[in-house]
Structure 1
Amino acid sequence: MANNSTSAPKHGQYLSKTTSRCVAGSVAAMDDFVVTSFSLIEGMGTGKFVSSATFTVGGRDWNIKLYPDGIYTEHKGCASVLLYFLKGAAGARVKFSLELCLVDKSVQVATGRGWFKFIKKSELQELLPPKDDSFTIKCVLTVMDDPHTQDVSTSTVIVPQSKLHQDLSHMLKTGEGADVTFSVGAQLFPAHKCMLAARSTVFKAEFFGAMKERDDQCIKIDDMEPTIFEALLYFVYTGSLPDDCDADGSNVAMQHLLVAADRYGLDRLRMMCEAKLCQDIDAQTVATTLVLAEQHHCTQLKDACLGFIASRNMLGVVMKTDGFKHLITSCPLVMKEILYKVAAAGSE
């Protein structure tokens, strides 16, 4: 009988088995670069740029540079947009896309590291609204680390990501175990006293302290829209904002949510709203946003509003808005700060 080379091992012999796998990881993130008043930076000159803030993806720092008059002379008449690697570990592969958005509508997309001729300025001017020539450059960046071999025998336990926020969100949505109900407008919101008290000192005092309600199981909330209170509850349970919190693209919802956060002592939520409002300042709403910042002691938001108003040729536009009339009536002392800021900007 012929010998078989794949026959079983002889008596006394043992087979050993090892397993390894190739692991290729990646990290993806999105950064929005909001450009306000493009007409004020147009004409800077070829090679001149404005830069986004530095953002970190995959342990590496990046930023986006917009060249309003093109990066080189041959690109005159076009705006250039490019991604720049600043610092961090080398050797990573990058997938990258840029997207120019006007009123939440994509009008131009670039791949690679950006485009020297991202968009013609004549086309951009036609697309921009006449009263607010602002737009957003969306950067979607994926950083892929070099693949490496991993010995499976030394790493066999894969720990899943925490689902705590999902579980708490489900508990809020179903109302299971709720021991208090809030009446806001025409809507009812069941909730859990212990959860609210753990997250807010105001709720804690209301339920368990000197401000404790009698034994009411239903508490009426005045002067607040149901959608705003719903977003506030969602933050209390999850630490984040619902996806549709600012679906209309305006900053009105963020303004109301900031007021609600301040009312219930939710400092992180208040700062999240403040950061969002800093990114969405425009000529039509900057005055009302400044009033809000002054009344709720939002220092960074106030500085951002003053800086926007003091920028070139902006004060006259803002003064024509209804919000500016409200500003003069509500916070007359802020006018002194505006004038000082405008004077300081003019002397630079």
Structure 2
Amino acid sequence: MGRNDVTSVQKLEKNLTLLKEEYSKQQRSYAELQRKYNEVVATSGNEELSDGLSNFVSRLSLTVALLFGSPTYADIYIRTHSKVFPAHKIVLHARSEKWGDDVLGSIQELDWSDFNEDVVLALLRWIYTDLIDLQHDGLALDLLRAAHRFGLPSLLGMCERALVASVGIRSCIKFYCVAEEVAALTLLQYCSAIISTHWDDLTVQDFEHMSGPLLYKMLKAKTKYPLHAAVRLLREDVVSLWIQENSDTDRGNDIHNVSYS
């Protein structure tokens, strides 16, 4: 690659970074506008009641926000590895059908110890206040999983958009795995496009944490010779999957022509 080509690539990367930063700003603005829109929708309807209802909804939203982290009226608790957070069943139920009376009615504690404490704190803050900071990819990925697990589509959408804005060559495989896990289709398709574009730039280390079945599925979709690709990536588990699938066909003989050298 010549010097001019290197300079052009650097300029493109710089422009892409600027575009991602602008995209992130727009997503934060979008989230705030969506929150305000939901408030307006909640207060629309009968004009005779709108003023009183608007005042009620505003006070209710403020009251719920003030209950974040407060033991006042708390009737359930969220346990992590090192801390217990007070919570309120009615607020949880208002956020998701998965927290209905059939689930929360007879219990006093939820075990979220499989999440890091910062994830639980960020999740509860959003549940009570509609506010969230998705500046860190690790937090956004964990919240994406939490949103899928607890049936929170609006939070899942915000996490997905934030991750689309920050995904790069070195992170696209990791993001792809999580997107596939939680069926975040927009993020999945975006990462898939990056993977296809930069296939030759991806290394063994990029794929080392991807499960065998998922990697095999990807190799079959993106390469003409998935067996050879699996060998190049030093993935014996994927080679085994190929052998199992092709053991009864003539293509199974190709394994003798491939080595891990």
TM-score (norm 2): 0.61
Unaligned runs of 5+ in 2: 27-53, 225-261
The structure with the largest helix share of the pair is 2
The structure with the largest strand share of the pair is 1
Which of structures 1 and 2 has the bigger CA Rg? 1
Is 2:146 the counterpart of 1:260?
A: yes
Rate the CA distance shift 1:231–1:165 in 2: closer, same or farther, 3 A: farther
Residues 109-143 of structure 1 deviation map (CA, whole Å, 9 limit, x = unaligned):
xxxxxxxxxxxx6xx99xx7xxxx962255699xx
**Hey, what's the Cα distance between the residues in 2 that align with 1:213 and 1:163?**
26
Report the alpha carbon displacement of residue 320 of structure 1 after superposing the two structures with TM: 3.7
Match of 1:135 among 2, 10, 17: 17
CA RMSD in angstroms, aligned pairs only: 3.4
**Hey, what's the Cα distance between the residues in 2 that align with 1:308 and 1:302?**
10
Aligned residue in 2 for 1:201: 97
**Hey, what's the Cα distance between the residues in 2 that align with 1:195 and 1:40?**
54
Higher relative contact order (CA 8 A, sep 6+): 1
Unaligned runs of 5+ in 1: 1-38, 44-67, 69-120, 142-158, 341-348
Is 2:115 the counterpart of 1:224?
A: yes
Report the alpha carbon displacement of residue 330 of structure 1 after superposing the two structures with TM: 4.9
Contact 2:89 2:104 in 1 (8 A): no
**Hey, what's the Cα distance between the residues in 2 that align with 1:237 and 1:264?**
15
Match of 1:327 among 198, 210, 216: 210
Rate the CA distance shift 1:198–1:162 in 2: closer, same or farther, 3 A: closer
Contact 1:291 1:330 in 2 (8 A): no
**Hey, what's the Cα distance between the residues in 2 that align with 1:219 and 1:298?**
26
Rate the CA distance shift 1:337–1:174 in 2: closer, same or farther, 3 A: same
* 1:95-106 map, 5 Å: none
**Hey, what's the Cα distance between the residues in 2 that align with 1:166 and 1:227?**
23
Aligned residue in 2 for 1:234: 125
Rate the CA distance shift 1:272–1:136 in 2: closer, same or farther, 3 A: same
Q: Identity rate of aligned residues, in percent?
A: 23
Residues 289-323 of structure 1 deviation map (CA, whole Å, 9 limit, x = unaligned):
11111111111111100111122xx213223434x
Aligned-partner SS, 2:169: coil
Aligned-partner SS, 1:219: strand
**Hey, what's the Cα distance between the residues in 1 that align with 2:59 and 2:199?**
48
Rate the CA distance shift 1:163–1:220 in 2: closer, same or farther, 3 A: same
Match of 1:316 among 183, 200, 216: 200
Contact 1:286 1:318 in 2 (8 A): no
Rate the CA distance shift 1:319–1:177 in 2: closer, same or farther, 3 A: same
* 1:68-147 map, 5 Å: 135-137=17-19
Aligned-partner SS, 1:326: coil
Report the alpha carbon displacement of residue 217 of structure 1 after superposing the two structures with TM: 2.3
Rate the CA distance shift 1:279–1:164 in 2: closer, same or farther, 3 A: farther
TM-score (norm 1): 0.47
